[in-house]
Amino acid sequence: MTISKPRGTRDFLPEEMARRRAVEFKLREVIQKWGYGEVVTPTFEELELFTLKSGQGIIGELYNFTDKGDREMTLRPELTAPVMRAYVNEMQSFSRPIKLFYFENCFRYERPQKGRYREFWQFGAELIGSSKPEADAEVIALAMTMIESVGIKGDLNIGNLSILRCLLAQITTESAVADQIMRYIDKKEYENLDSYLGELSVSAELIEKIHKIISLSGKDGFAAAKSAREVVGDLPELDAFEKTLTLLTAYGVTDYTVNFGVARGLDYYTGIVFEVYADGLGAQKQICGGGSYKLISLFGGGDVVSTGFGIGFDRIMEICELPVEKPETIVLITKPETQTNGIEIANELRPYVSVLTDIMGRNFKAQMEYANTVGAEYVLIVGEKELESGLLSLKDMKSGEQVSLSLEDLILKFKKE
């Protein structure tokens, strides 16, 4: 009987893992230079952590279970809520802002398709404790810098939900009602939106204002903000939005579209929201999304604002063409009589270069063929003659050139390279 991997999961073989690690390393390199520290949270959490954030409707998408203590648990479907829970449990006394990042696997029980899996990886960041435009600008600029560092050109769309929420505050104080309106806007279900607003007896003037705001879009963010002022007046939220755009220019982020119709589809976003799209992914073209939000109070903390983003690592890998540097490899060839000497020599060389030794009992010819098969750059011959002379024969498999070097010279050669 053959047991297959579960649906919606993948096996990553060495070549693919080398690609994934190369991209992961690049993303880590960028975010650490921006002063963010890594956190790791449990693979499973209490189910309530996610129903508090997203409602009971999310349960159908989760790998949830009851543990042996009769507790309702689930494999994590995302990482923002666990990081906020960790903040409440462990980090409330830390100096703010707190800058965190993570790279972990997540699990969702949904229909697998291109770019969407039941086990997937998310790379993300959370900046906790600042509601200033400086925080919004930094998080957006960081996300774009990370995406560009792996050779991907992302299409950045920026919105601001605080403008819409100012209008919604004129309709209702009930969060559930406001959230339903936001969901219609996010899904662009404008007929349903109008029907729902009609049921709420919203005036035609206010409905018109909502439609004007969500239709505001363009490459000139300041022009969009000016148009928004003509609809909603001089709100301080628009002043903060314009400052965010000014700061983005300082970061070198100038190619974006402002779209006040970006709603992100998540109820807890409060201000700036942004999404990044990339070609080559079909319908699932979003590779990054984020914004400012309030979640900490849900989990027992204070009224603390955060700004963050998540990068869909698997979607990045679908289109990333970052070259992978293959380490130089030596295949060390021995005879039965020199096997132990070969192992000792391999131990001396491995701090500086990848070394493979024979563990199959192959003869000299078969060991040479193996070196060709694995694409080794060099073979190092360790025979009785080489041991007697103290000079080992190193053959360049590409040029065919063969030289005799002492172990000390070999170490110097690969140490320098």
- Is 107 found in the same domain as 43? yes
pLDDT of residue 267: 63
Q: Is 193 part of any known ligand binding site?
A: no
Cross-sheet strand order for the sheet of 119-128? 37-38, 98-107, 119-128, 306-312, 286-293, 269-277, 155-160, 256-259, 217-218
Q: Which residues contact 263 (CB under 8 A, 6 or more apart)?
A: 159, 161, 164, 182, 183, 185, 186, 269, 273
Residue-wise pLDDT for 12-61, tens only, equals: 999 999 999 999 999 999 999 999 999 999 999 999 999 987 778 889 99
Rounded CA separation 278/316 (Å): 9
Average pLDDT over residues 351-355: 95
- Is 397 found in the same domain as 282? no
Q: Is 72 part of any known ligand binding site?
A: no
pLDDT of residue 194: 87
Q: Is 20 part of any known ligand binding site?
A: no
Domain around 149: 14-319
Give the model's confidence band at 345: pLDDT under 50 very low, under 70 low, under 90 confident, else very high: very high
CATH number for the domain that contains residue 138: 3.30.930.10
From 319, 346, 362, give the residue that closes a domain. 319
Is 35 among the domain residues? yes
Which amino acid makes up residue 214?
Answer: I
- What total of structural domains would you count in the chain? 2
Rounded CA separation 170/304 (Å): 24
Specify burial of residue 84 (Cβ count, 10 A radius: 0-12, 13-18, 19+): buried
Average pLDDT over residues 347-373: 95
- Is 244 found in the same domain as 378? no
Q: Is 264 part of any known ligand binding site?
A: yes
**CB 223, CB 214: distance < 8 Å:** no
Cross-sheet strand order for the sheet of 402-405? 354-357, 329-334, 378-382, 392-396, 402-405
Rounded CA separation 352/32 (Å): 26
Q: Is 405 part of any known ligand binding site?
A: no
- Is 104 found in the same domain as 157? yes
Q: Is 79 part of any known ligand binding site?
A: yes
Is 324 among the domain residues? no
Q: Is 87 part of any known ligand binding site?
A: no
Rounded CA separation 124/143 (Å): 9
- Is 282 found in the same domain as 333? no
Task: Write down the mean pLDDT value for the chain.
Answer: 92
pLDDT of residue 172: 79
Residue-wise pLDDT for 373-392, tens only, equals: 999 999 999 999 999 999 99
Give the model's confidence band at 266: pLDDT under 50 very low, under 70 low, under 90 confident, else very high: low
Total-model pTM? 0.90
- Is 349 found in the same domain as 269? no
**Pick from 134, 129, 130: which is nearest to 94 by CA?**
129
**CB 297, CB 184: distance < 8 Å:** no
Is 2 among the domain residues? no
Is 212 among the domain residues? yes
pLDDT at position 125 over 60: yes
Residue 233 backbone class (left: φ over 0; alpha: ψ -120 to 50; beta: rest): left
In 3-state terms, the chain is what percent helix, strand and coil (to 5)?
45, 25, 35
DSSP calls for 351-402: TTSEEEE--S---HHHHHHHHHHTT-SEEEEE-HHHHHHT-EEEEETTT--E
- Is 235 found in the same domain as 344? no
pLDDT of residue 132: 95
Residue-wise pLDDT for 65-119, tens only, equals: 999 999 999 999 999 999 999 999 999 999 999 999 999 999 999 888 776 899 9
- Is 381 found in the same domain as 254? no
Q: Is 269 part of any known ligand binding site?
A: yes
**CB 275, CB 262: distance < 8 Å:** yes
- Is 133 found in the same domain as 18? yes
Q: Is 256 part of any known ligand binding site?
A: no
In the DSSP assignment, the letter for residue 337 is G
Residue-wise pLDDT for 167-198, tens only, equals: 888 887 777 788 788 888 878 888 888 898 88
pLDDT at position 264 over 80: no
Give the model's confidence band at 402: pLDDT under 50 very low, under 70 low, under 90 confident, else very high: very high
Rounded CA separation 304/300 (Å): 11
